[in-house]
Structure 1
């Protein structure tokens, strides 16, 4: 299973939902907290072009935020990414 990284903040409800969603699928997440780390926030913005959290990566592929993650699952694209 590829590494799943999630740029997030401690109190973001969408970050919490994304973590719960992935945990139900048996996925462990490497959380990168950006609320108190400006360097990580800058890195997230550079990589994704987005300022909102969560920003989720499966392996090196940027999935997007929580809504993007759920949409990817509904369309059948999440399971193949997680099984690589």
Structure 2
């Protein structure tokens, strides 16, 4: 039963990442999560680089499948920390990496690229 549950969680995570230009797996009070969200949210809005429907934050600790989500994200990204930030389907890192990519101008370039299916 657990393997079916894990397969479903993995499929759900992959679908979310594929469906959104920016997908953040987060915890609400984590300072690094707040950092990543603050950086990215300045680019979200009508007429901005990221349309609101293309941006999602999933507060994983509020989900009933939290432990499975945590385990699968760890397997996918190689790290047990949050946030886990994906842009156009690519894992870019956590809060510090998101901030650093923004500071260097690379984040804007990544965000301007079309989402690949």
TM-score, with length taken from structure 2: 0.63
Higher relative strand content:
1
- Structure 1 position 32 matched with structure 2 position 58: yes
What do you get for the CA RMSD once the two structures are aligned? Answer: 1.6
Aligned partner (choices 42, 61, 71) of residue 42 of structure 1: 71
Show structure 1 runs of 5+ residues with no match.
Answer: none
SS at match of 1:35: helix
Structure 2: distance between partners of 1:32 and 1:70:
19
Deviations 1:29-74 (A, max 9, x none): 3122222411111121011000011110001111101110111122
Show structure 2 runs of 5+ residues with no match.
Answer: 1-19, 45-49
Structure 2: distance between partners of 1:74 and 1:14:
16
The equivalent of 2:25 in structure 1 is: 7
Higher relative helix content:
2
Instruction: Mark the structure with the bigger radius of gyration.
Output: 2
Aligned partners of 1:32 and 1:40 also within 8 Å: no
Count of matched residue positions in the alignment of Structure 1 and Structure 2: 83
